[in-house]
């Protein structure tokens, strides 16, 4: 199991970015329109950390891990069979790949096919 993208939705993006830069030595780029204007940093292993503001009034702050999968359609199917609720996707996200969000066990999860 490999993390592809760590998404942090926060009401104070710049404070979170500053903390992660100080704590973990990350360098965040300018807002990326392909990822909801998230400020994105690439880790040494190639995985991404993105920090963005809520995209709608009803979106609450959350930390969501997107796990890398080879076949996102199959991963979504298996999650549904296992009782997950698919909240979004699979959806192509610019040049970065395809993602899906699902709810399982009271938590929000994600899949990402690079």
Q: Judge whether residue 85 has pLDDT over 90.
A: yes
What is the number of domains present in the chain?
1
Query: Could you give the CA distance from residue 102 to residue 76 in angstroms, rounded to a whole number?
Result: 8
Domain that holds residue 22: 3-113
The predicted-structure confidence for 29-73, as pLDDT tens digits, reads as follows 999 999 999 999 999 999 999 999 999 999 999 999 999 999 999
Q: Judge whether residue 94 has pLDDT over 90.
A: no
For residue 35, give both structure tokens: 């990822």
CATH of the domain at 28: 3.10.180.10
Q: Which residues of 86-105 are buried (b: 16+ CB within 10 A; e: fewer)?
A: eeebbeebeebbbbbbbeee
Could you tell me the pTM of the whole model?
0.91
């Amino acid at each position: 199991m490999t993390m592809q993208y760590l998404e942090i939705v926060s009401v104070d993006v710049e404070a979170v970015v500053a903390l992660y830069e100080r704590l973990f030595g990350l360098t965040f780029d300018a807002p990326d329109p392909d990822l909801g204007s998230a400020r994105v940093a690439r880790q040494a292993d190639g995985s991404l950390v993105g920090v963005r503001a809520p995209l709608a009034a009803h979106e609450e702050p959350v930390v969501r891990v997107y796990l890398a999968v080879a076949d996102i359609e199959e991963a979504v199917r298996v999650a549904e069979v296992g009782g997950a609720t698919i909240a979004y996707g699979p959806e192509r996200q610019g040049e970065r790949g395809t993602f899906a969000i699902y709810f399982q066990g009271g938590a929000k999860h994600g899949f990402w096919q690079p």
